[in-house]
Amino acid sequence: MKAHKIADSLFCVYADIASDELFEGIWPIPRGVSLNSYLVKGEKTALIDLIRDWSGAPRQIEEALAEAGASFESVDYLILNHLEPDHTGWLGEFRRRNPGAEIIATAKGINLVKSFYKEERGLKVVKDGDKLDLGGRELVFFETPNIHWPETMMTYDSASGTLFSCDGFGSFGALGGRVFDDEFSAEEHSFYEREGLRYYANIVSSFSAFVERGIQKLEALDIKCVAPSHGIVWRKNPRAIIERYLKYAGYSRGKTEPSIAVIWGSMYGNTKQGLDAVIRGIEAEGAPYTVNRVPDEDVSYALANAFQSRALVLAMPTYEYAMFPPMAYVLDIFRRKHIFDKTVLRIGSWGWVGGAKKEYEAAIEALRWESVPSMEWTGAPTIQELLVLEERGKELARSIR
């Protein structure tokens, strides 16, 4: 891995992760993720954010540091914007190799250094507006709590105007040897935008109010480069990723896209037949929609589509007197991730007796959803039922205009 120069004496050193292991133990990353750290050199040297020992990350970072004329051993300050172990899991080994470096974090962050890593030596608490003089270079710290853990902060390099935002402004997707926004094609940007939305919906969405607050707090800074700890480094158009995050935060307040997220599961095709009729209705009205089948596709993708869409179709059969279990999991995740304020059409087939309805209604109680009248049928849908389903699809499509 090479070091990517952002400005004089400032480098992005990062590791591409290719692993079957789920991110946070939950979210699939089939196209990987990057763990970005940043090296800032004055008379003293700072490393901003670390890594976990995952997919050869320590070796990758070590190679990049060497190219920039540094090493884990030469670091004077290790700045931890966020303590989640994807950025800190290797802290014990770092400390073994560098017993003298000062570890810098917020007060809550330092508590996590102690509790996660049992490290008590060389710890320094910083708070909002505190500065670190590297000798010819100054870093400033801004507490940005709950983006997305309570201890999170961001670090700003005044000389270059670079904001080190850790998880904020991040994305899934390995980088493949390039890091800067101006090094990727439009097609590649589309990929990172999709993966960025999934990352936001999966990891950050519950904390959207804090994202807005954090962005507002940093508004006065002259941000020339946004340097997150996952994904693209935005040096050409830093405003693009800030605006994108503001848009995503707005989704949490109901400022969603006029689109429909269709999420479905079917045992033997009877629910699917009904869903096809609903989709015919949606298409007849010309409404944009996405489709995710569960459990074939991980809930992570349905969550991203539902998060940004104004309306949902949930199609599931009754299974053993209750909801099709993969859809019960979808709704549980939606509740945990606060997928509020949607217009929803639920449909599905049942065999000898229903049951999905009762469980569904209990599951969505806290979600503030508005329902288009549900539609259930026995076994395979009749022609008349298919016509009703098509109308329901049209009605839902009209509701998002």
Which residue lies nearer to ligand FEO by CB, 22 or 362? Answer: 22
Cβ proximity to ligand FEO: between 35 and 104 the closer is 35
Binding positions for ligand FEO, 257-316, rule CB under 6 A: none
**Alpha-carbon dihedral 356, 396, 198, 238, rounded to 10 degrees:** -160
Query: Residue count at the site for ligand FEO (CB under 6 A)?
Result: 8
Give the nearer residue to ligand FEO in terms of CB position, either 198 or 230: 230
Closest contact distance (angstroms) between CB of 203 and ligand FEO is 6
Structure tokens at 233: 């480094």
Q: Does 337 bind ligand FEO (CB under 6 A)?
A: no
Q: Which is nearer to ligand FEO, 11 or 169 (CB)?
A: 169
Least spacing, CB of residue 87 vs ligand FEO, in Å: 6
Residues in region 162-201 near ligand FEO by CB under 6 A: 167
CB distance 345 to 317 below 8 Å: no
Question: Can you name the residues that pair with 84 across neighbouring β-strands?
Answer: none
The residue (of 82 and 198) whose beta carbon lies closer to ligand FEO is 82
Least separation in angstroms between CB 84 and ligand FEO = 3
Residues 76-95 that bind ligand FEO (CB under 6 A): 82, 84, 86-87
Q: Nearest approach, Cβ of 230 to ligand FEO (angstroms)?
A: 6
Task: Please name the amino acid found at residue 235.
Answer: R
Name the minimum Å distance from CB 374 to ligand FEO. 38
In the complex, the smallest distance separating the C-beta of residue 170 from ligand FEO, rounded to whole angstroms, is 7
Residues paired with residue 226 on neighbouring β-strands, in sequence order? 163, 234
Using the minimum distance from each CB to ligand FEO, give the nearer residue, 150 or 354: 150
Closest CB to ligand FEO among residues 245, 264: 245
CB of 80 to ligand FEO, least distance (A): 11
| Beta-carbon contacts of residue 135 (< 8 Å; ≥ 6 apart) | 42, 43, 44
Q: Which residues, 220 to 259, sit near ligand FEO by CB under 6 A?
A: 229-230
Least separation in angstroms between CB 233 and ligand FEO: 15
The CB-nearest residue to ligand FEO is: 84
Q: 192 or 264, CB closer to ligand FEO? A: 192
Neighbours of 302 (CB within 10 A): 28
Q: What HEC string does the chain produce?
A: CCCEEEECCEEEEEEEECCCCCECCCECCCCCEEEEEEEEECCCEEEECCCCCCCCHHHHHHHHHHHCCCCHHHCCEEECCCCCHHHHCCHHHHHHHCCCCEEEECHHHHHHHHHHHCCCCCEEECCCCCEEECCCCEEEEEECCCCCCCCCEEEEECCCCEEEEECCCCCCCCCCCCCEHHHCCHHHHHHHHHHHHHHHHHHHHHHHHHHHHHHHHHCCCCCCEEEECCCCEECCCHHHHHHHHHHHHHHCCCCCEEEEEEEECCCCCHHHHHHHHHHHHHHHCCCCEEEEECCCCCHHHHHHHHHHEEEEEEECCEECCEECHHHHHHHHHHHHCCCCCCEEEEEEEECCCCCHHHHHHHHCHHHCCEEEEEEEEECCCCHHHHHHHHHHHHHHHHHCC
Q: Shortest gap between Cβ of 57 and ligand FEO (angstroms)?
A: 12
Contact string (CB under 6 A) for ligand FEO, positions 128-157, x = contact: --------------------x---------
Beta carbon nearer to ligand FEO, 47 or 363: 47
- Closest CB 88 distance from ligand FEO, rounded Å: 9
Q: Which is nearer to ligand FEO, 228 or 348 (CB)?
A: 228
Contact set with ligand FEO (CB under 6 A):
82, 84, 86-87, 148, 167, 229-230
